[in-house]
Amino acid sequence: MNEKRLFTSEAVTEGHPDKICDQIADCILDELLAQDPMSRCACEVTCEPGAVHIMGEITSQAEVDYVACAREVIRNVGYTNPEYGFDDHCNITCSIHAQSPDIAMGVDHAFGCEEDLGAGDQGMMFGYACSETGNYMPAAIELANGLAMQLSSVRKDGTIPYLRPDGKTQVTVEYQDGKCCRIDTIIISAQHDPGITIKQLHSDLQREVIDEIINPDYMDDDTIILVNPTGRFVLGGPAADTGLTGRKIIADTYGGYARHGGGAFSGKDPTKVDRSAAYMARYIAKNIVAADLASQCEVQLSYSIGVAYPISVSVDTFGTGALVSDAALVSLIRQNFDMRPGEIIRELNLRKPQFLKSAAYGHFGRIDVEFPWECLNKVNLLRHAAQSVVGQKKASSC
C-alpha cells in the first residue's frame, strides 16, 4: 500500500502569554482547594503589556490572595526583568463574584438523584490514547511538548542564558501505512536577548534542545529544522501578544490528532465536566489501549447540566479493536467506570491541589508528574471483562 501522510502538532512554553493566564488560573484553583476542597471556581485571566486581570466566579470558604498567586506564577515563569515589557511588578486587577445560584443548585443536587452531584454544564468531552508512544500519546504532540519543556529547562538552568520565557515548538511527523516512521519538520521559535545571531541560536538549540529530545533514528538528511523563521524574537510574552485562559486547548490535549469538545480546563474546579470528564475519558481510553483491546481509542462522554449520569458514551477504535467490538467496549465502560461527576472526582482524586502542574506542557502523557487520570489500574479488569464477553459468545454459539 505504501501510503504516506504528514501530521503536525504545536506546543508552547510556560512563558507564552496564554499559558501564563492558564497557570495563574490554576494556581488560584490549587490555593482554593488546599484550604477548601469543596471550592467552586471558574477563573479566567487575561494579560497584556504591564497588566493582568483576573475575573470569574468563585465560591469558597478559602481566603486566597489572588494577586499574590499571579505574581508568584509570573516570577516562577521567569518574567522578572522590566526590560521584557512584562514582569512580576505589573499592574494586577481582580473582578471576582460568586457562582450563579441557579448553576450551584443543579450541581449540588443532581436531577432525579438528589444524593449525587450534577454536571456543572452541558457539553461533550473527548479522551484519546494510542500505542504510538510509551505514554499512549500521538508522537507529534509528545515531541512538541518535549521540545517546549527542554527549551524552558535550558533557559532556567542557565545552559542557554540568553533565552527569554516565551517560545513555541512544532513537529511534523511522517506516517507510512499508519506507522510513525520519521520526523519531517521541526520548528522552534525561541524568545532571546538582543544581539543573538540566528547561527548561534540554531547551533545551541540543535545541541541542547533538539538532540536531547528527538531520537536521531527518526531524522534524516531531508528533515527540515527551522529556528526563529522571522530571524528575530526579542519582544515576546504579554508585551507582544495579549494572553487569555483557554486558548491553547489543542496543545493541552492531543495536538489535534483526536477530537476536542471545545471546553478549556484551566481555572475550573472538578465539578466542571469540561475538565473532570475529559480527564475521565482519557483515563478510560488509556486503560483500553494498555489492555490491548485496541491500538487507538477515542472516548466521547456527554452531559446535561444538573444531571449526574452521562447522556451518552461513545467509543471509536478506528478499526484497531481486538477481542470485542466498539459497541461491546461501551458496555464494558458502563460496567467498570462510574462516570457521574461526583464519582469521577472521587476516583481521580480531583479535590486535591495538583492543577498548576497541568497548566503548561499538556494535561496528558506527562512523565515529569504523576496525574491520577494517567493511572493504568483498570487494565487487568478490562482485559478479563473482554475475555469474559468472548467466552460467553463462544458458549452461546455451541
Residue 45 lies in a domain: no
In a domain, 249, yes or no: no
Same domain, 221 and 163: yes
CB 107 within 8 A of CB 117: yes
Tell me: do 211 and 317 sit in the same domain. no
Instruction: Say whether both 304 and 374 belong to one domain.
Output: yes
What was the pLDDT predicted at 123?
94
Which residues make Cβ contacts (< 8 Å) with residue 128, sequence separation at least 6? 138, 253, 254, 257, 258, 259, 281, 282, 285, 296, 297, 298, 299
Sheet of 91-97, strand order = 91-97, 51-59, 40-48, 243-244
Same domain, 8 and 157: yes
Instruction: Please write the tens of the pLDDT for every residue from 174-232.
Output: 999 889 999 999 999 999 999 999 999 999 999 999 999 999 999 999 999 999 998 89
What is the CA 112 to chain-centroid distance, rounded?
33
Contacts of 355 (CB under 8 A, 6+ apart): 26, 29, 30, 33, 266
Cα gap 318→322, rounded to integer Å: 11
Query: What CATH code is carried by the domain that includes residue 145?
Result: 3.30.300.10
Residue 127 and residue 166 in one domain: no
DSSP annotation of 305 reads: B
CA angle 124, 23, 45 (to 5 degrees): 75
Considering the domain architecture, whether residues 224 and 291 belong to the same structural domain is answered as no
The string of DSSP codes covering 91-132 is: EEEEEEEPPPHHHHHHHHSBTTBTTSPPBSS-EEEEEEEESS
**How much is the pLDDT for 115?**
59
Quick one: 335 and 291 in the same domain? yes
Q: Which of 175, 208, 236 is the last residue of a domain?
A: 236
Kindly state whether residues 127 and 147 are assigned to the same domain. Answer: no
Tell whether 127 and 151 lie within a shared domain. no
280 and 377 housed in the same domain? yes
Let me know if residue 267 belongs to a domain: no
Alpha helix locations (H) across 188-308? Answer: 198-205, 211-213, 249-252, 273-290
Whether 96 is in a domain gets the answer no
Q: What are phi and psi of 278, to 5 degrees?
A: -65, -35
**pLDDT tens, position by position, 24-79:** 999 999 999 999 999 999 999 999 999 999 999 999 999 999 999 999 999 999 99
Neighbours of 338 (CB within 10 A): 14
Angle between helices 379-397 and 273-290 (to 10 degrees): 60
The domain in which residue 376 lies consists of 123-131+273-388
Share in percent of the chain as helix, strand, coil (round to 5): 35, 25, 40
Counting Cα atoms < 13 Å in the Cβ hemisphere of 14 gives 24
Instruction: Say what the pLDDT of residue 389 is.
Output: 84
d(C-alpha 344, C-alpha 225), whole Å: 42
Has residue 284 been placed in a domain?
yes
pLDDT tens track, the chain, 398 positions: 568 899 999 999 999 999 999 999 999 999 999 999 999 999 999 999 999 999 999 999 999 999 999 999 999 999 999 999 999 999 999 999 876 665 655 566 555 554 578 887 889 999 999 999 999 999 999 999 999 999 999 999 999 999 999 999 999 999 998 899 999 999 999 999 999 999 999 999 999 999 999 999 999 999 999 999 988 999 999 999 999 999 999 999 999 999 999 999 999 999 999 999 999 999 999 999 999 999 999 999 999 988 899 999 999 999 999 889 999 999 999 999 999 999 999 999 999 999 999 999 999 999 999 999 999 999 999 999 999 887 777 666 65
What does DSSP say about strands 123-130 and 296-303: parallel, antiparallel, or unpaired?
antiparallel
Say if residues 209 and 147 touch (Cβ distance below 8 Å): yes
At 120, list the grid cell: 456543572
For residue 397, the model assigns a pLDDT of 64
Question: Can you say how many angstroms the Cα of residue 79 is from the centroid of all Cα atoms in its chain?
Answer: 23
pTM of the predicted structure, to 2 decimals: 0.94
DSSP notation for 213-228 = HS-GGG--TT-EEEES
pLDDT at 275: 97
Q: Give 224's Cβ-side CA count (13 Å radius).
A: 10
Residue whose C-alpha is closest to residue 314's, from 186, 126, 101: 126
Number of structural domains, the chain?
Answer: 2
Last residue of a domain, one of 210, 236, 262: 236
Q: How many CB atoms lie within 10 A of CB 318?
A: 13
Give the H or E element holding residue 237.
none
Q: Are residue 219 and residue 282 in the same domain, yes or no?
A: no
* Contact yes or no for 355/324 (Cβ under 8 A): no
What's the pLDDT at 100?
Answer: 63
Q: Do 329 and 305 sit in the same domain of this protein?
A: yes
